[in-house]
Structure 1
C-alpha cells in the first residue's frame, strides 16, 4: 500500500524549477533512497515533501491526505518527520532536554522512555549536552527527536554527512531498524552505494528529474548507470563536497 504518492511535482526557490515532473511512491515500512549527482535536486525534493519549498506545483498525497494544502506543522501531525542535514539537534540542551522539547509539543511523555529503549546509547548520555556527543550519537538523537511524534514516514537528508566510515555504519544500522518500528524512510544519501544496498527501492535524479527507478539491488547491478549516478566504492561523492541542493 502506498503511503506517500507524488505526481508531477515541480518547484524551486525562484522562477526556475530545481525539481521538475517528479513522480514517486513510498510504501508502508519501506526504505527508499534518492541518489544522483551533486546539485541534482535531491535535498530540494526532500524539503518539498516536508513543505519547506516556497514554490510548488503538482500533487503530494500522504495516506489519503492532500499534502499540498498542509503547513509543515500539520504534516508532522499527520505522521511525517524530517531530519535535516545540519542543525538537527539543540547543542546547548542535554539529550533528555532535546527529547523533552518535542514531548511538550506532542504530549507523549512515554515516548522518551521508548526512545531510550530504541537507542540505548542515548540512555547513558541523557545528561550530556548534545554539542558534546559524537557524530553518531548526535544522529541517533536527531532520529529519536524525529520519532518522538510517532511518525509513519521519516525524511532523512544526508544522514551520513561528515561522519567517518565507522560512524556511518552505525547510523545506517539505525536507519535499517526504522521499518521494524513501523516507519517508512525516504532518504537522500551521498554514500548512495551503501544506502541502496539496504534500500527496498531507489530513485536516480539528474538535473531535477527522475531518470531511473528500480529496486536497490537492481540499481547497484546497473553498472552503466552506477558509474554515472551512484559512484564507485562506498559513496557517490567525497564526504563534505556535496551540494546543498
Structure 2
C-alpha cells in the first residue's frame, strides 16, 4: 500500500524554487532514504511535506488524501509524524511532561507507558528535564513524542545531525525497528551510506531534483553514487 505519493512537487520561498519537480513514494512499513549534499533541497522537501513552506504545488497525497489542502496539524492527524532537525523537544520539561503535552492522544498514560517500554533509557530518566539529556537521549525523546500519536509514517529530518558515531548507530538502529511496529519512515539524511544500509529504497537529490532512485542495495552498489554522494567506494 502506498502511504506517501509525491509527484512533480515544486516548493520554495519567495520567488525561489528550492525543490524543482520531485517524485517520491513511500509504501507501508518501508524505510526510504532521501540523500544529497548540503543545499540539495532535502530539508525543504521535509518542510513542504508538513506544510511549513510558503509555496508548494504538485501532487502530495497520504493514504489517498490531499495533504496540500490540509494545515500542518491536520497532516499529523492523518498519520504523518515529523521529527525536525532542531527544536524537537521542550528543554524545560521532563521526559514524561514532553510526552504528556502531545495532543491528539486518547489515553496518554497508557501510551506513555508504551513509549517508555520502547525506549528503556528514557524510562530510567523519566523525571529528568530534556535539557539535561545527552544528544542521543534527546533524539530518543523526539522519536517517542512523534510516536505518541500512533502514526503510519515518520518523517525524520537529519536525525543523526551533530551526534557522535556511537549515537548515530543507535539512531539508525531505532529507525530500523520502526517497520516492526507498523511505522514507515522517510529519512532525510546526510549520512547517505549508513541510512541506505537500513533502507528499502532511496532517492538522491541534487539542485532540487531527484537525480537517482532505486532499491537501497542498488544505490549502494552504484559506482557513480559512491563517487558523488557516498565519499567513494
Q: TM-score range by the shorter chain?
A: over 0.9
Give the deviation of 1:163 after TM superposition. Answer: 0.3
Counterpart of 2:189?
189
The answer (yes or no) to whether the contact 2:77–2:104 under 8 Å persists in 1 is no
The answer (yes or no) to whether the contact 1:36–1:230 under 8 Å persists in 2 is no
User: Does the residue aligned with 2:196 lie in a helix, a strand or coil?
Assistant: helix
Counterpart of 1:158?
158
Counterpart of 2:67?
67
Mind listing any 5+ residue stretches in structure 2 that lack a counterpart?
A: none
Query: How do 1:20-169 residues align onto structure 2 when only pairs under 5 Å count?
Result: 20-102=20-102, 104-109=103-108, 110-169=110-169
TM-score scaled by structure 2?
0.97
Equivalent-residue separation in structure 2 for 1:224 and 1:128 (angstroms): 47
Give the deviation of 1:230 after TM superposition. Answer: 2.7
* More displaced stretch, 135-144 vs 216-225: 216-225
The answer (yes or no) to whether the contact 1:201–1:215 under 8 Å persists in 2 is yes
Give the deviation of 1:207 after TM superposition. Answer: 0.1
Count of residues in correspondence between the two structures: 232
User: Does the residue aligned with 2:88 lie in a helix, a strand or coil?
Assistant: coil
TM-score scaled by structure 1?
0.92
Q: Which runs of 4+ in 1 moved over 4 A?
A: none
The answer (yes or no) to whether the contact 2:33–2:195 under 8 Å persists in 1 is yes
Mind listing any 5+ residue stretches in structure 1 that lack a counterpart?
A: 234-245
Give the deviation of 1:232 after TM superposition. Answer: 4.1
Give the deviation of 1:26 after TM superposition. Answer: 0.2
Give the deviation of 1:190 after TM superposition. Answer: 1.2
Aligned Cα RMSD in Å? Answer: 1.1
The answer (yes or no) to whether the contact 2:34–2:188 under 8 Å persists in 1 is yes
Give the deviation of 1:231 after TM superposition. Answer: 2.4
User: Does the residue aligned with 1:18 lie in a helix, a strand or coil?
Assistant: strand
